[in-house]
């Protein structure tokens, strides 16, 4: 075993760490067995050992110390790799969502001094989906890697950055002095960093960032709550003008709550087939007859009221539910066209 570490029986003491020496002294003093993990550094490298020291007594006197040494280097490296895979993003080498939530929770559980806060930045790369779809995942992945490096370069000493997945990143400032505009300074730095284009393979790519900011304790003291509110603020920034930042506010939260309720109503309406088509006749003055009909969708509420498309189409487009609604409209309009055709109204084809 000793030769494996790169030294002989004669010079092993030269490599014995102070920790191991203290263990020997403790066993000699207490005459009790001890077990401990320790590191060993030699010309062959760094080793991780598990050492058990057992005192051997003869006639109630310490005669020797029996040492059992296990080389745990492979296990240590495997555990370290497993930990890294669980807490770090393999693409950007940044902490991942799980690590970010754990870090934020620990930070929020600490006591903070007056006027100092925890600030959460939620960041999204604008136009990333367009670039990724048009040029492929290889270019998209490289863009995320370069973006991660740019973001990391501006994070201050009291900051923590993580890649949440996709084109979303988070930055957490601990003990930030909001009275001095520290959050504004960082947000502006980040936006400036992305004014310069990215050169990836043969492509010159331009992307910007939208940033949402939430502050504890003003906006909450729960980590997931803060992340959600920063996310809401980020979408508000994206709606107003891309490459901007916004702080979370009650009005933003209220708007998002209304939007979420509208989405839930839409999903329920799709599942329960609570839409109806009204047909507006199209009349030709020249031919003096009806030439068709325009299909107009209405949502039927549980109490029987009709809601015009202006109240729900925007949310449907934003959430992707417009695809399901569009399929329903086409199916229903075609059914109605068949009914009219069977009745001899050949010129009454619906327009969608």
Distance CA 39, CA 49 (A): 6
Contact status, residue 276 vs residue 310, Cβ threshold 8 Å: no
Q: How many other CB atoms sit within 10 Å of the CB of residue 303?
A: 5
d(CA 7, CA 18) in angstroms, rounded, equals 17
* Burial tier of 53 (Cβ tally within 10 Å: 0-12, 13-18, 19+): buried
Catalytic residue among 30, 37, 89, 167: 167
- CA–chain centroid gap for 261, Å, is 23
Q: Reply yes or no on whether 222 is catalytic.
A: no
Q: Is the dihedral of CA 178, 180, 182, 187 positive or negative?
A: positive
- Do strands 159-165 and 168-177 pair parallel, antiparallel, or not at all (unpaired)? antiparallel
CA distance 19 to 61: 24
Residues designated as active site: 167
């Amino acid at each position: 075993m000793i030769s494996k570490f790169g030294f002989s029986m004669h010079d092993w003491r030269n490599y014995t760490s102070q920790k191991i020496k203290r263990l020997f002294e403790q066993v000699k003093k207490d005459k009790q067995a001890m077990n401990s993990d320790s590191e060993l550094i030699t010309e062959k490298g760094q080793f991780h050992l598990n050492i058990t020291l057992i005192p051997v007594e003869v006639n109630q006197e310490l005669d020797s110390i029996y040492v059992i040494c296990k080389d745990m280097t492979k296990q240590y490296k495997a555990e370290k790799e497993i930990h890294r895979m669980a807490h770090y993003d393999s693409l950007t080498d940044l902490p991942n969502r799980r690590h970010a939530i754990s870090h934020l929770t620990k930070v929020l559980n600490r006591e903070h001094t007056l006027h100092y806060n925890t600030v959460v930045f939620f960041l999204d790369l604008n136009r990333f989906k367009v670039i990724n779809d048009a040029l492929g995942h290889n270019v998209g992945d490289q863009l995320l890697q370069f973006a991660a490096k740019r973001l990391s370069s501006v994070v201050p000493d009291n900051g923590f950055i993580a890649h949440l997945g996709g084109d979303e990143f988070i930055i957490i400032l601990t003990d930030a002095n909001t009275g001095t505009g520290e959050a504004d300074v960082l947000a502006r730095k980040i936006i400036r960093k992305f004014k310069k284009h990215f050169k990836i393979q043969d492509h010159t790519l331009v992307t910007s960032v939208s940033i949402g900011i939430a502050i504890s304790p003003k906006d909450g003291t729960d980590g997931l709550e803060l992340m959600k509110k920063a996310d809401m603020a980020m979408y508000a920034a994206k709606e107003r003008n891309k490459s901007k930042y916004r702080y979370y506010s009650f009005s933003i939260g209220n708007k998002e709550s209304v939007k979420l309720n509208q989405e839930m109503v839409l999903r329920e309406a799709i599942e329960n087939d609570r839409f109806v088509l009204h047909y507006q006749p199209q009349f030709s003055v020249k031919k003096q007859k009806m030439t068709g009909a325009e299909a107009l969708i209405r949502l039927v509420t549980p109490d029987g009221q009709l809601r015009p498309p202006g109240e729900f189409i925007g949310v449907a487009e934003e959430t992707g539910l417009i695809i399901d609604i569009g399929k329903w409209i086409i199916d229903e309009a075609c059914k109605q066209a068949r009914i009219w055709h069977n009745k001899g109204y050949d010129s009454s084809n619906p327009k969608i």
